[in-house]
Amino acid sequence: MDKNEKLRVQLAIDQADTWAKQYAKITQARNEVRTNAAVALKTLRGSIVPAVVNGETFNVLPLGAEQLTALGTFARFISMAPISGDDAELLHQLETELPRSIAEAGRGIASRRPSTDDLDAAEYVKDYASWGLSAGIADALTRITPPVAANSVNSALGKAGVDGNGSGVEPSFALAPQYGLANALKKYGTAELVPAETLRSRLATYNAAARTERQREAKPAQYAGLARSINPADSYVVVCSPAGRSAVDLISALETSSN
């Protein structure tokens, strides 16, 4: 192997090694996104507060700071592009044959008398680097790279930033398909977004009436826990009904019960 050939092999090694290391980092990042999304979904579902009004069940998810942060994490997973069959085939060698061949090719250019295996590996790496450039490995790596944060979801929605809550999630778009929340809450019923103040004020009226009743009949306020779960800073809540009822039905039921 003469000097010029060694240079050609080294350039091919550098290119192939860059791709292989990038692919390994992307794979690790994708695994972390999946793991974090599972934790985030558990947080979101664990924040749901059930309410039974006039025999009807409603599930209420307050969108506080913790929930919005979890939703931002979950949205990153939802917006992460799946690896297509073509890209998987294109990138497969980056974690199988290529790392060993890179090591053997490197050994070959460092040796005065490279082995046949080393020379074969050098040819393979050169061919792979040349093929990879024309096949678009760099583009495939870009396609499978997970988004940095949920801001990319806001961009898809035409939003120019975040809501100032640090989560990357615009609460008024919490049920947009790009966030994946509505689908994740399917088992709790059809989801609707409601201004938190609307439900907060109805609960305050209801609980005030219940306290009066308690004084007369020693009955506890049924929805004090739900009222406590909606913080003053929360701008929206998600209301889910397994029976397909609307959030208006919950609000109306609270109004009726407080009269």
What is the DSSP annotation of the chain?
Answer: --HHHHHHHHHHHHHHHHHHHHHHHHHHHHHHHHHHHHHHHHHHHHT-EEEEETTEEEEEEE--HHHHHHHHHHHHHHTSPP--HHHHHHHGGGTTHHHHHHHHHHHHHH-SS--HHHHHHHHHHHHHHHHHHHHTHHHHHHHHSPPSSTHHHHHHTT--S--SSSSS--GGGTTSTTT-HHHHTGGG-EEEEEEHHHHHHHHHHHHHHHHHHHHHH----TTHHHHHHS-TT--EEEEEETT---HHHHHHHHHHHH-
By 3-state DSSP, what share of the chain in percent is helix, strand and coil, each rounded to 5? 65, 10, 25
How far apart are the C-alpha atoms of 12 and 98, rounded to whole Å?
A: 11
pLDDT (mean) for 89-105: 89
pLDDT (mean) for 34-38: 95
Each residue's pLDDT tens digit, 213-244: 554 443 444 566 677 788 888 889 999 988 77
Q: Is the pTM of the predicted complex or chain greater than 0.85?
A: no
Each residue's pLDDT tens digit, 138-189: 999 999 999 876 555 555 555 544 444 445 678 888 999 889 999 999 999 9
254 contacts 210 by C-beta, under 8 angstroms: no
Average pLDDT over all residues of the chain: 83
Each residue's pLDDT tens digit, 116-136: 998 999 999 999 999 999 999
Length of the chain: 259
Residue-level pLDDT at 213: 59
Residue-level pLDDT at 216: 43
Position 102, amino acid: I
Of residues 254 and 221, the one with the higher pLDDT is 254
Residue-level pLDDT at 57: 83
Each residue's pLDDT tens digit, 5-16: 889 999 999 999
